[in-house]
Amino acid sequence: MNLLRYCALLLWLLSPLLSAEDIARDLRGNGGGTGHETDGGYFELGLGAAYYVDPFLQEYGDCDSHKVCPSLSISGAYHYRSGFIELADATYDGLNIGYTLWDDSRWAVDLIALNIFGELSSEDNHSDDPERQKEIDLMQRSRLFIGSGTRVTGYFGNTIVQYRLMGDVSGEDGIVSSLRVGQSWQYRNWNFHSMVSGDWLSRKASNFLIGISPDEATERFPAYEAKSSLYISGEVGVAYPLSDHW
């Protein structure tokens, strides 16, 4: 998500303190509260390994399909009073700009005025073969879902439950929704955590992001009309604080 990573540079410039709204970040902290108490922000860079299954990666991208490759994640947030901007690369949440409507020790209710996720391609490959050019255009196409909606987060000890509902701002590209449940365990200075997520996309949203229209179709990539989609993902990790700021 190149656009989201560019936005992370802005967050880095605005992030001298610690705060969090993204559930993945909250779990890597201590998972014990809403995290809206102070103004400020954070910037987070993560390195890892990922196993990709994607036919589009067979010829383009930094990793071949069906191989384990290094991965990079960038996250950040800045919170001022009840307003916030955040970049959640560890989940499908993407870039969020919003306002906290309700916040206490157990619940947080956020209005997401702007949510952006998807893929903005920076590739610009060309071919003299018209059929091959259609394939290249398809693999390089940019698809960004731009929506708004609400997010409700519940804190139950070291367990966090979060539900999101977003609708496309144009009214044409459908609805996306997610439910995430996370748990953290503290052992001395080590914080272990796990999270299970379910992301649902309506038929319109699925078609917008992964569908192939007849005009885009090629012999290799035939026309495809997607139905509603459900993505299940999980995360297991451990965090160790090096200092008050790292």
Per-residue pLDDT, averaged over 54-59, amounts to: 54
- Residue 173 tokens read as 């590209």
Question: Rounded CA gap, 165 and 147, in Å?
Answer: 10
Query: What are 164-219's pLDDT values in tens digits?
Result: 999 999 888 999 999 999 999 999 989 999 999 999 999 999 999 889 999 999 88
Instruction: Give yes or no for residue 103 having a pLDDT over 50.
Output: yes
pTM recorded for the entire structure: 0.76
Nearest of 66, 37, 60, 23 to residue 158 by alpha carbon = 23
CA 9 to chain centre: 16
pLDDT of res. 207: 92
Please answer whether residues 116 and 3 qualify as being in contact, where contact means their C-beta atoms are separated by less than 8 angstroms.
Answer: yes
Q: How many Cα atoms are found within 13 Å in the side-chain-facing hemisphere of 175? A: 7
